[in-house]
Structures are given as structure tokens and as C-alpha cells.
């Protein structure tokens, strides 16, 4: 039995049917090139007969030289009331000029009768005629047996007959589709075994949806039963509950099951690819995704951290670096000395578990988390706190005071927000700077005013930009008197960092997070130059 698996990605087609997942033609080209770098074998670029955007994509992607992947155009069998050579959908597939074409046809009798509004025999003719028409014009021809598993459960003889017709017409691979995503792994195995008994060994593929949370498990089970092509999407995006997640399937196949695929040679690029594609789609990457999520190798409980300090395998099923991810230790009110020591080492601080300052840091972190602070996404604030408790505060300026005025003219739906600040650089004995700035809202005005004051002394602060700003109302006091937590993500050319502030006053909480962000930027720049 061959151990080689072909990976077929449909992020650009099936993936874009997901709610909120949208890609322009330019986006699709960027994603296709990234998938090619990863080593994906087939990239399904879209359905050229369904919309002008996909037609344009196939035309423009021809200007790029892919290193490994082959482009595939996707479409359906011909219309029941037409002949194959007159069908616009099939013609559009050929006009895409891709080396691979994938078409789907009906396997389930209810779809034949209710969706196509035709007879069972006519559907078999449609499948065969469509594939025979396409066969001479493409290098590879794949047949997706839509709703195959549901169809097999209802009428196994007919479902298998659709596969026979597709094979006789020249399909290079018969892809069994769990289109509704309701098949369970034990059913998948039983049906695959019966299909092989009736048709022989294949070649077969699997296309699973995740409506019962089994898409990855079903895909792996199908491979064990002889499937040699696996279809799915990056991050599991897709209609309804999504498609089989290739970011889980590929490492499972390669690292756990001993199979080979081209993308398996580039596993260290997997996390980067997964996050890149969501960045292009302007979506937040889910933290809890296996292998590639930010939390996939994150440790919070003190017992866990203590164990991974001795041996990472105690709480990690693989080394995160193998899939391009990193180990993270979180600091929270659950933290013990092990978490603090681990984070300190990450920050370049040499603290021993028995050092009295470790106990002091643990106590302060727990106290602040009880007040509403959260350091898991604000590690810059945590690092600055550690230095302060060690007696080495990173202080480059002092905010002496600020005032924010929000003027709203009575007759106009506009506002003018002005912030005035007074800062001293350096703290204690330095020069006092008094300045003002306007902004789009009070936080933006305050940010602009503080920057304006500090940039006179630290011009490189201009490199820094605020990338994300989140406010969370904390439980406790009800209504408008509640405390709020502000999380700010900032970035410069060399990376990003997070800071946090908490107060009953949203402006005060924002100011705390902003001050930590400026301070951390100045500290990082000094550190690069060998200073403090």
C-alpha cells in the first residue's frame, strides 16, 4: 500500500462559502502562492462558471509560476436538459485552462429527484457524459461524489453505480463526499470497506465536512481505509460548520500515522500559513486550533508548567517547533513560582525558584488579577511589572497630569476632542513638556497628545503604532460604575506587544495601557543597543 497522500486544498472555493470569510481576486492569488510554498498538491481556485471573480482569478493566476501545486477548476456535471458539449458550465471549466478539473455529481437519490428534477438513469448518463467530454482536455480529472455517504445509507446500489459510471468515463480519482457532515467515523469505515469490496482499491479520495465535529477524524479514517487524496481547507473554514481542517490532517498524517505528502516536508511553515490566510481575510485567527493556534502549546496551570520545565513531553504531544508554533507559558491567578520563573527566563531575567522576588511577583500578579488585570495578552505589562518589583523600574518619562475635553456642538452631529498633557523627561528632575492634541475620540486624542510630548525627546516613537484596542466591562459593580479592562496591542517594525490597564474610568485604564506601551517600546529599543 502506498504511503503517499495527495493534499487537495479547497480554501479558495469551498472555504469562501464560510460566513464572514471573503477573498478578493488579489487575496486569492496571495493565498494560492502561500499554499504552493507549503507544498499543497492541488489548489482548487474556484468555480469559473458561477461568477466573474473566479473566472478572472484563473486568468490572472496563469501569470504566476507555481513551484509544486497544480491549479484545479471546480464545477458541476452538465444541466439535465442539455448535452455535455453544449453546457456553459463545462465550457467554463475548460476556459479556465487548468491542468486539473474537478466536477461533482449526485449520489443521493433524493437529490437526483428533488434537486436535479430528473430520473435516476438520466443522472447516471449526465455523470458519464460530463466526464467523457472533459477527459481529453485535462491532465487530471477528479470526480466528487456529492452526498455520497448519505446516498449510500439510503440506496447503496445506486450510490456505487454513480461511482462506476464516473470511473468508466475516465475519472482519475473518485472522491467520496460527506457533504452534510453527519457521518461518524465508524460509519465512514464501514462504507469505505463496502465500496472497496464492490469497486476494488480505487483510487479514492475523501471530502469531509465538520457538522458533527468529525471531519478530521473521518478524513484520517478514510486514509486508513485506502483514500489517497484528502480534500480540506486551511483552518477548517467552510460552509456551515466548516470543512476538514488540513492544518490538523497534514501533521496527523505525517507525524502520527507515518504517511508522506509534499506539505509534510514543510511542516515548519504550517502555523505561518494558517495565520497568514486569516490575516489576508481580515479575520482573527482562532487561538484554540490544534497545532497552529496560539493556545495550542500554551500552559497556564502551575503543575503543568512545573512539569514542562523538567520535560516538555509531559504536557505536549509534539514539539511546537515542528509545525512552526511556539511554547507559551501564561501568567494568571492560577500561576505558581514555575510560571513566573519560566516567563522571567523568556524575558531574559535570571530568577531562581527560591528567590524571594519570585514570591513577591506571584503575590502581586494574583492581587492584580483579582482587581481585573489580565496578563495573558499583555506580556509587555507583565515584564515591566517584574522589573519594577525587582527594583529596576524602566522609567523614561513621567506623566504629571492630563485633561481631555470633548466639545459637542448642540446643532451639529460632530465633536472635537482635545487632550492636554504634562510630562517630565526624564522622571523626577528632567524637563517639563506641556502640549495638546486633538483626536477621533478621547483615547485617540490622549494618545496623540502623549506621543507629541514624548517624540520631542524620543523621535523613534514615531515608528510605533497602535494596532488593536479592546475594552471589557468587568463583573462586579453593575451598570456604568463597573470597572473596565483595556488591552492594547502595539507594533513597530520588529514586532508587537500587548499592554493592559484597569480602572472604573475608561480613560484612566486606557492611559495605563498606553503608558506601558510607550515605555516598553523605549525599553526594547534601549535593550537592542545594549542599554537599559
In a domain, 344, yes or no: yes
Helix (H) / strand (E) element for 366: namely helix 356-371
Sheet arrangement for strand 398-407: 398-407, 416-425, 431-439
Question: Which class for 12: exposed (0-12), middle (13-18), buried (19 or more C-beta within 10 A)?
Answer: buried
Range(s) of the domain holding residue 345: 298-371
Sign (positive or negative) of CA dihedral 208, 214, 220, 224: negative
pLDDT grade for 335, boundaries at 50, 70 and 90: low
| Closest by Cα among 294, 269, 322 to 33 | 269
Examine the domain organization and report whether 308 and 276 are in the same domain.
no
In a domain, 505, yes or no: no
In a domain, 532, yes or no: no
How many CA atoms, within 13 angstroms, populate the side-chain half-sphere of residue 42?
27
Contact call for residues 286 and 293 (beta carbons, < 8 A):
yes
Contact call for residues 268 and 321 (beta carbons, < 8 A):
yes
The whole-number pLDDT of residue 304 equals: 78
Sign (positive or negative) of CA dihedral 200, 206, 211, 212: positive
Q: How many domains does the chain have?
A: 3
- Domain stops at, among 246, 280, 314: 280
**Which residue(s) pair with 206 in the sheet?**
176, 230
In a domain, 159, yes or no: yes
Residue position matching grid coordinates 513560582: 337
CB-based contacts of 51: which residues, under 8 Å, 6+ apart? Answer: none
Contact call for residues 205 and 199 (beta carbons, < 8 A):
no
> pLDDT of 348-378, one tens digit each?
888 888 888 888 988 888 889 888 888 877 8
In a domain, 204, yes or no: yes
List strand residue ranges (DSSP E) for 69-139, in order.
70-76, 100-106
How far apart are the C-alpha atoms of 93 and 162, rounded to whole Å?
21
Examine the domain organization and report whether 132 and 217 are in the same domain.
yes
Does the pTM of the predicted model rise above 0.85? no
Examine the domain organization and report whether 322 and 193 are in the same domain.
no
Examine the domain organization and report whether 365 and 415 are in the same domain.
no
Task: Break the chain down into helix, strand, coil percent, rounded to 5.
Answer: 45, 20, 35
In a domain, 523, yes or no: no
Examine the domain organization and report whether 30 and 120 are in the same domain.
yes
Examine the domain organization and report whether 184 and 312 are in the same domain.
no
DSSP letter string, 221-263: HHHHTTEEEEEEBGGG--STT-B-BHHHHHHIIIIIS--B-GG
How far apart are the C-alpha atoms of 442 and 506, rounded to whole Å?
10
> pLDDT of 239-292, one tens digit each?
999 999 999 999 999 999 999 999 999 999 999 999 999 988 888 789 899 999
How far apart are the C-alpha atoms of 469 and 384, rounded to whole Å?
20
Examine the domain organization and report whether 271 and 309 are in the same domain.
no
In a domain, 491, yes or no: no
The whole-number pLDDT of residue 1 equals: 56
> pLDDT of 379-398, one tens digit each?
899 999 999 999 988 999 99
Examine the domain organization and report whether 255 and 327 are in the same domain.
no
Question: Any idea what the CATH number is for the domain that residue 270 is in?
Answer: 3.20.20.70
Question: Any idea what the CATH number is for the domain that residue 432 is in?
Answer: 3.30.160
CA dist list (Å): 139 to 94, 328, 351: 11, 46, 62
Examine the domain organization and report whether 112 and 252 are in the same domain.
yes
| Closest by Cα among 389, 397, 401, 407 to 429 | 397
> pLDDT of 74-124, one tens digit each?
999 999 999 999 999 999 999 999 999 999 999 999 999 998 999 999 999
Examine the domain organization and report whether 137 and 262 are in the same domain.
yes
Amino acid at each position: 500500500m502506498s504511503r503517499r497522500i495527495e493534499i487537495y486544498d479547497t480554501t479558495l472555493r469551498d472555504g469562501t462559502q464560510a460566513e464572514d470569510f471573503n477573498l478578493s481576486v488579489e487575496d486569492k492569488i496571495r493565498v494560492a502562492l502561500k499554499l504552493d510554498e507549503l507544498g499543497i498538491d492541488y489548489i482548487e481556485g474556484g468555480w469559473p462558471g458561477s461568477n466573474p471573480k473566479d473566472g478572472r482569478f484563473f486568468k490572472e493566476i496563469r501569470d504566476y509560476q507555481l513551484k509544486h501545486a497544480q491549479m484545479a477548476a471546480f464545477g458541476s456535471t452538465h444541466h439535465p436538459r442539455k448535452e455535455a458539449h453544449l453546457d456553459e458550465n463545462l465550457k467554463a471549466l475548460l476556459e479556465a485552462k487548468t491542468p486539473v478539473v474537478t466536477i461533482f455529481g449526485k449520489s443521493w437519490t433524493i437529490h437526483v429527484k428533488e434537486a436535479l428534477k430528473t430520473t435516476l438513469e438520466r443522472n447516471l448518463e449526465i455523470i458519464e457524459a460530463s466526464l467523457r467530454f472533459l477527459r481529453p482536455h485535462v491532465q487530471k480529472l477528479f470526480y466528487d461524489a456529492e452526498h455520497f455517504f448519505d446516498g449510500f445509507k439510503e440506496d447503496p446500489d445506486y450510490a456505487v453505480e454513480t461511482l462506476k459510471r464516473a470511473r468508466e468515463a475516465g475519472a482519475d480519482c473518485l472522491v467520496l463526499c460527506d457533504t452534510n457532515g453527519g457521518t461518524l467515523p465508524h460509519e465512514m469505515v464501514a462504507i469505505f470497506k463496502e465500496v472497496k469490496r464492490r469497486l476494488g482499491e480505487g483510487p479514492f479520495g475523501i471530502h469531509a465536512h465538520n457538522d458533527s465535529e468529525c471531519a478530521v477524524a473521518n478524513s484520517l479514517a478514510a486514509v486508513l481505509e485506502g483514500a489517497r487524496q484528502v480534500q480540506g481547507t486551511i483552518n477548517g473554514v467552510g460552509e456551515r460548520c466548516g470543512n476538514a481542517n488540513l492544518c490538523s490532517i497534514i501533521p496527523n498524517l505525517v507525524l502520527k500515522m507515518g504517511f508522506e505528502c509534499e506539505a509534510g516536508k514543510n511542516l515548519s511553515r504550517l502555523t505561518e500559513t494558517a495565520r497568514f490566510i486569516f490575516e489576508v481575510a481580515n479575520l482573527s485567527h482562532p487561538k484554540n486550533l490544534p497545532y497552529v493556534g496560539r493556545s495550542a502549546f500554551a500552559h497556564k496551570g502551575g503543575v503543568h508548567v512545573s512539569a514542562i520545565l523538567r520535560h516538555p513531553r509531559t504536557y505536549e504531544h509534539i514539539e511546537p517547533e515542528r509545525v512552526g508554533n511556539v511554547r507559551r507559558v501564561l501568567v494568571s491567578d492560577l500561576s505558581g513560582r514555575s510560571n513566573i520563573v519560566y516567563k522571567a527566563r523568556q524575558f531574559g531575567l535570571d530568577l531562581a525558584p527560591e528567590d524571594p522576588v519570585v514570591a513577591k511577583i506571584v503575590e502581586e500578579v494574583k492581587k492584580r488579577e483579582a482587581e481585573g488585570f489580565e496578563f495573558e495578552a499583555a506580556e509587555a505589562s507583565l515584564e515591566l511589572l517584574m522589573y519594577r518589583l525587582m527594583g529596576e523600574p524602566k522609567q523614561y518619562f513621567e506623566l504629571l497630569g492630563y485633561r481631555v475635553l470633548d466639545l459637542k456642538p448642540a446643532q451639529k452631529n460632530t465633536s472635537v476632542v482635545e487632550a492636554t498633557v504634562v510630562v517630565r523627561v526624564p522622571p523626577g528632575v528632567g524637563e517639563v513638556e506641556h502640549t495638546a492634541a486633538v483626536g477621533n475620540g478621547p483615547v485617540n486624542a490622549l494618545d496623540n497628545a502623549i506621543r507629541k510630548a514624548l517624540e520631542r525627546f524620543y523621535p523613534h516613537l514615531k515608528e510605533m503604532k497602535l494596532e488593536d484596542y479592546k475594552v471589557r466591562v468587568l463583573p462586579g459593580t453593575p451598570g456604568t460604575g463597573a470597572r473596565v479592562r483595556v488591552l492594547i496591542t502595539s507594533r513597530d517594525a520588529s514586532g508587537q506587544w500587548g499592554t493592559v490597564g484597569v480602572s472604573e474610568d475608561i480613560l484612566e485604564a486606557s492611559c495605563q495601557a498606553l503608558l506601558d506601551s510607550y515605555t516598553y517600546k523605549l525599553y526594547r529599543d534601549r535593550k537592542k543597543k545594549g542599554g537599559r
